[in-house]
A = this chain, B = another copy of it.
Amino acid sequence: MSGRVDVIGLGPGAEDLRCPRAALALAQATDLVGYVPYVERVVAEGGQRIHASDNREEIMRARLALQLAAEGARVAVVSSGDGGVFGMAAAVFEAMDHGEPGWRDLEVTVHPGVSAVLAAGARLGAPFGNDFCVMSLSDNLKPWTVILNRLECAARGGFAMAFYNPISKARPWQLGEALTLLRRHLPGQVPVIFARAVSRPEEAVAVTTLALARPEQADMRTLVIVGNAETRLIPRTGQDPWIYTPRSVGRESA
A residues contacting B by CB (< 8 A) are 7, 9, 11-12, 14-21, 24, 58-59, 82-86, 89-99, 104-105, 108, 110-115, 118-119, 121-123, 125-136, 141-143, 146, 149-150, 152-154, 156-159, 232, 234-237, 242, 244-250, 253-254
Of the A-B pairs whose beta carbons lie under 8 Å apart in the complex, a sample of 6, sorted by A's number, is A15-B20, A84-B126, A104-B236, A131-B135, A133-B157, A150-B157
A125 vs B109: C-alpha distance in the bound complex, in angstroms? 8
A253, B98: Cβ atoms closer than 8 Å:
yes
A84, B128: Cβ atoms closer than 8 Å:
yes
- By a CB distance below 8 angstroms, the chain B residues around A128 are 84-85, 134
A19-B114, A242-B93, A249-B146 as given contacts; A134 in contact with B132, CB under 8 Å: yes
A24 vs B14: C-alpha distance in the bound complex, in angstroms? 14
- By a CB distance below 8 angstroms, the chain B residues around A122 are 7, 9, 82-84, 89, 110-112
A19-B18, A104-B236, A234-B104 as given contacts; A90 in contact with B58, CB under 8 Å: no
- Copies of the chain in the assembly: 2
List the 9 closest pairs (A to B, CB-CB), nearest first.
Answer: A90-B129, A153-B157, A142-B249, A133-B133, A93-B244, A89-B126, A98-B254, A110-B122, A16-B21
A89-B125, A114-B112, A118-B115 as given contacts; A150 in contact with B158, CB under 8 Å: yes
Give the interface centre of A93, A95, A134 by most chain B CB atoms within 10 Å. A93
A157 vs B93: C-alpha distance in the bound complex, in angstroms? 23
B14, A118: Cβ atoms closer than 8 Å:
no
- By a CB distance below 8 angstroms, the chain B residues around A254 are 59, 94-95, 97-99
- By a CB distance below 8 angstroms, the chain B residues around A249 are 141-143, 146
A82 vs B247: C-alpha distance in the bound complex, in angstroms? 15
Beyond A84-B129, A113-B114, A134-B134, 11 additional pairs, beta carbon < 8 A: A15-B20, A84-B128, A90-B130, A90-B246, A108-B242, A114-B114, A132-B133, A133-B159, A141-B248, A142-B250, A150-B158
